[in-house]
Chain A
Amino acid sequence: MITKLLTPFGSLMRTTTLRVAIAFAGLFAGFALLLLGFLYATTVGRLGLEADRYARKELIELSNIWEQQSINGLNMAVIQRAAQASESLYVLVKPDGRVLSGNIDSAPLDLSQVRRPDADAPLNPNAAVATGFSYERPVPETGRLERRRARGFFLAGPDGFGLFVARDLGPGLQIADQVARVIWMGGAGVLAFALIGGFLVARQVAGRVHELTMTTRAVMAGDLKRRAAVRTLAPGEGDEFDDLTEDLNAMLERIDRLVAAARTTGDAIAHDLRSPLTRLRTRLEDSALRDQTLDELREVIEDAISQLDDVVATFNAVLRLSRLEAGEGGKLEALDVSVLVTQLAELFEPVIEEAGLVFTPNIQPGLMILADRSLLAQAISNLLDNAVKYTQCGEIQLHAKHLPANQVEISISDSGRGIPLEKRDYVVKRFARLDNARSLPGSGIGLSLAVAIAELHGGRLVLSDGLTHEHGDGFGLLARLILPMMTP
């Protein structure tokens, strides 16, 4: 139970978002501290200089009095000044270290460390020892003791007396201290807010990443059908996570299709190549047992070779199809598709006429598309092959024309046996062959290849009713390759 509660927090701690939030809070606090320290040091330094200047001025005045009126005059002056001054501090110390007069308890420094000048040397205020210290004094209004800071100088006289003059750093320091305290507390507040905000954002982000992670894990575990949940949004409203989710789903969709295709290819190859290979094997075995004459054997061998050639051709077609569906192969270049279709019309015209069919090509000139000539020729040739194979009598039309919306259509329509409406989705699948076509040569790959090639060119293959039969009792097939036109 506890681990159950802790785990989300633990995993939250590992999120980048929270780390970034903490790092920013830390950086901010560090910078604020630095700024504060600088501000404080500058203020204190400045106040210290002021105090030093004032204390030194007084020290010089008093040392003059000391020199002119000796120690008694100085004592009088210190007593006077101590009585009236509130910001200046004085102490006059006797040679035995006791305080003679002044307004603080003692000189805030170790007198034994102070070097005494020689007995006959003159007073030298420049040799005074400087020091900073803190002391306590009552606040005038409340009488409460208050710790304050001051800076001062100690001047040792040749007669063993010592004079300490100092100046309170003043109310400026109190203000600086106040400001520092505010900044400290504010900084702590900001730090706390940054942490809480970071934690909340991290939890929000982690939740969305969690969905993606769970999806990828499920897919890795073999569930190729799993998709990440998509939020319903108005168009243009999604953030980068919605984009990522959509891309992930699209990627999974494609992988799923490829895997499925690979699986069907494997199955279909096994199925479709096994039957001709079995047939071939039986034939050879039978011949080995029975056939005697050279002519008989030669006939069997030639037959076997031609069957093997068919197997290889099918195999190559399947490989090519798989590569196309995996997005490999095909180099698109500017191509005048009118020229290509005209050449193919010339290639097929004799064979169509020889089959007793009327051939009507109608090709608009100058249709430019981005295409792989060899592949597109193969697709069109496959469709023409089909038209010739499945049309007993009547006509084959080959059209190439410009469609609105910048498309080019290459269409082949025949008056053959056609494909029933409900079978049209089936025939574009690999190895799909209609029952009445099984007796004819062919691998069942042609239309799938045409579809894959059309898709490679960003287009599609559309099958619909073609020309009416001669007897008027049905339709042939109309196959249309619709490809995007090249935009200049």
Chain B
Amino acid sequence: MRVLIVEDAGESALYMRRALEESGHVVDLAGDGETGEMMARGGAFDVLVFDRMLPKKDGLSVVADLRTAGIVTPVLFLSALGDVEHRVEGLNAGGDDYLAKPYAASELIARVEALGRRQEGGSPSTHLKVGELEMDLLARVVRREGKKIDIQPREFRLLEYLMRNANQVVTRTMLLEKVWDYHFDPQTNVIDVHVSRLRSKIDRDFDKPMLHTVRGAGYRLEA
């Protein structure tokens, strides 16, 4: 995936680049809003990562202008302003996701990859398949190796998100945000319990586990 990082704090931009490159992505850097906008207009990026506060032109304006110009490349905003209103501002300006500083590298990578995949996704499908695991979104039925798995509605939404991001790490925060639409940290491990319940349903009666815990990061559903 080709990623453009627009961030004026040089050191953290370099860390970001290294983390993303180690996950196999190609990364370009820009240090201010105007350069970032120029490079983004040049195209050929799968994901744009914008800091909100940039020299010369702030991230919100750059992204708003890009969207006006018809450039639809997914944008991830980074910001020290983490509150809900700021998140909403970012999304209204045309951002696709929002990550508050400080963040874990794993969180950044997972979100960048989720955005890049969404781009590839194309038309919304009614049928998802990851290895032998299948989901019929219309009939709301889940099968593994042809065997029907009894699943509750909230587990269905969780599994759907995992399947759409199959073979990629998704973090607990991403699950809380995308599946439940909450933007705060519960102190108890609510998400872990949901995932382990889901795991017990899709993995228990089968030899090969599909739903893996990635230490220090989150979860990954593998074919």
Give CA–CA (A382, B187) in the complex, Å.
8
A377 touches B85 (CB 8 A): no
| B182-203 contacts to A (CB < 8 Å) | 182-190, 193-194, 197
| A21-51 contacts to B (CB < 8 Å) | none
Give CA–CA (A228, B137) in the complex, Å.
67
Give CA–CA (A313, B184) in the complex, Å.
10
Q: Which of B83, B102, B190, B216 contacts A348 (CB 8 A)?
A: B190
Per-residue CB proximity of A332-374 to B under 8 Å, as 1/0?
0000000000010011101100100000000000000000101
Give CA–CA (A320, B82) in the complex, Å.
9
If over half of B's interface residues share one DSSP class (helix, strand or loop), that class is named, otherwise mixed; here it is loop
Closest chain A CB from B186 CB (angstroms)? 5
Knowing A329-B85, A350-B197, say if A389 contacts B187 (CB, 8 Å). Answer: yes
A446 touches B187 (CB 8 A): yes
B184 touches A442 (CB 8 A): no
A313 touches B185 (CB 8 A): yes
Chain B residues near A381 (CB, 8 Å)? 182, 184, 186
Q: Which of A302, A323, A331, A351 contacts B193 (CB 8 A)?
A: A351
A374 touches B182 (CB 8 A): yes
Closest chain B CB from A344 CB (angstroms)? 9
A374 touches B184 (CB 8 A): yes
Chain B residues near A272 (CB, 8 Å)? none
B187 touches A442 (CB 8 A): yes
Knowing A316-B82, A329-B85, say if A347 contacts B183 (CB, 8 Å). Answer: no
A350 touches B187 (CB 8 A): no
Knowing A329-B83, A374-B84, say if A351 contacts B180 (CB, 8 Å). Answer: no
B84 nearest CB neighbor, chain A only: A374
Per-residue CB proximity of B141-167 to A under 8 Å, as 1/0?
000000000000010000000000000
B152 nearest CB neighbor, chain A only: A346
Per-residue CB proximity of B94-135 to A under 8 Å, as 1/0?
000000101010000000000000000000000000000000
A211 at the interface (CB under 8 A from B): no
A388 at the interface (CB under 8 A from B): yes
Closest chain B CB from A416 CB (angstroms)? 13
| A144-202 contacts to B (CB < 8 Å) | none
Centre residue among B187, B189, B216 by max chain A CB count within 10 A? B187
Chain A residues near B216 (CB, 8 Å)? 302, 305
Closest chain B CB from A359 CB (angstroms)? 12
Across the A-B interface, give the 9 residue pairs with the lowest CB-CB distance, nearest first: A350-B193, A351-B193, A385-B187, A378-B184, A351-B190, A374-B84, A354-B193, A388-B188, A346-B154
| Additional pairs, 17, CB under 8 Å, beyond known A351-B193, A354-B193 | A302-B216, A309-B104, A316-B100, A320-B83, A329-B83, A329-B84, A329-B85, A347-B182, A350-B190, A351-B188, A351-B190, A374-B182, A381-B186, A384-B188, A385-B186, A389-B187, A446-B187
Question: Which of A's residues lie within 8 Å of B, judged by CB?
Answer: 302, 305, 308-309, 312-313, 316, 319-320, 323, 329, 331, 343, 346-348, 350-351, 354, 372, 374-375, 377-378, 381-382, 384-385, 388-389, 441-442, 446
A-B contact list, 22 entries, CB within 8 Å: A308-B102, A312-B102, A313-B185, A316-B100, A331-B85, A343-B180, A346-B154, A347-B186, A350-B197, A351-B188, A351-B189, A351-B190, A351-B193, A354-B193, A374-B183, A374-B184, A377-B184, A378-B184, A384-B188, A385-B186, A389-B188, A441-B187
